[in-house]
Amino acid sequence: MLKINNLHNKVETQDGEEKAILKGLSLDVPAGEVHAIMGPNGSGKSTLSYVLTGRDGYDVTDGEMAFLGEELGELEPEERAAKGLYLSFQYPVEIPGVPTITFLKEALNAQRTARGEEEMPAPEFMKFIREQAKALGVSMDMLKRPVNVGFSGGEKKRMEILQALILQPKFLILDETDSGLDIDALKTVAEGVNTLRSEDRGMLVITHYQRLLDYIKPDVVHVMANGRIVKSGGPELAHELEAEGYDKFIGEAA
């Protein structure tokens, strides 16, 4: 479903210099599987999510990345989204003046239109969003408020997962979805993510800590250091990292 081969990229630093972040990263995530990427700060985890989804300023300098057999680098961010690629942000932004329910309805119908489908009628959308919001403990009052404005960290992360439940993407990238969540919010968000698991959907879960993987069980765990994958294994690898830390993997990468 997602195939990355020898991916390199560069970003422009604040002083105007170019810095290489991804340095030959390769990764395959088949449909139906959940893969976790763990690594220390600065290893390139969030950069990978930005490169895959087409964020400005994250230029690919070498390598290939294909989604469902199509080269991603040739697609605009909104085209990648319409094809089913979804990013849950580590730091969701606020959008003052735009009611959340309006934002979700417009996003869903924009994607349906891009795929040549009819827009979802308003009554059907209202029934759909109420069902999904209830499962995540999101109130109608929250849906009427501007996107993320005045929301707590946990509420913002719930809203990210609600967007995924509404859009039903083919592939989810969760960038440190657990950051800023207390244990109750973590369980609620993880339950929402787990309802999206299916044989025709893939997921890439980016996290620092093993605790998220207690609730979202990965099929494969990858260790990332110095811009590339340095070790892969089963779920037990996450426990090894929790116990021993990243130092030995950083040394191997160097």
Q: What pLDDT digit, counting tens, does each position of 4-15 carry? A: 999 999 998 888
Q: At the fourth CATH level, which superfamily is domain 2-92+169-253?
A: P-loop containing nucleotide triphosphate hydrolases (3.40.50.300)
CA distance 8 to 226: 12
Burial class (CB in 10 A: 0-12, 13-18, 19+), 41: exposed
For 64-105, write each residue's pLDDT tens digit. 999 999 999 989 999 999 999 999 998 899 999 999 999 999
Place of tokens 């995540």: 136
Give residues with Cβ within 8 angstroms of 11, minimum separation 6.
18, 19, 21, 47, 57, 58, 59
| 51 or 245, higher pLDDT | 51
CA-only gyration radius of the chain, Å? 18
Closest C-alpha among 11, 3, 159 to residue 71: 3
Domain boundaries, the chain: 2-92+169-253
pLDDT for 38: 94
Helix (H/G/I), strand (E/B), else coil: 35: strand
Burial class (CB in 10 A: 0-12, 13-18, 19+), 119: middle
Angle at which helix 183-195 crosses helix 122-135, to 10 degrees, equals 130
The average pLDDT across 121-134 equals 94
Query: Is 224 in contact with 230 (CB distance < 8 Å)?
Result: yes
For 238-252, write each residue's pLDDT tens digit. 888 888 888 877 776
Q: Is residue 107 within a helix (H) or strand (E), and if so which, with residue range?
A: helix 100-114
pLDDT for 252: 67
Is the pLDDT at 122 greater than 90? The verdict is yes
Q: How confident is the model at residue 17 (pLDDT cuts 50, 70, 90)?
A: confident
Angle at which helix 153-167 crosses helix 183-195, to 10 degrees, equals 10
CA distances from 133 to 69, 100, 160, 161 (A): 33, 12, 11, 10
CA distances from 55 to 49, 51, 59, 60, 72 (A): 9, 6, 9, 11, 12
pLDDT for 166: 95
pTM: 0.92
Q: H helices of 168-205, where?
A: 183-195
* Amino acid making up residue 149: V
pLDDT for 110: 94
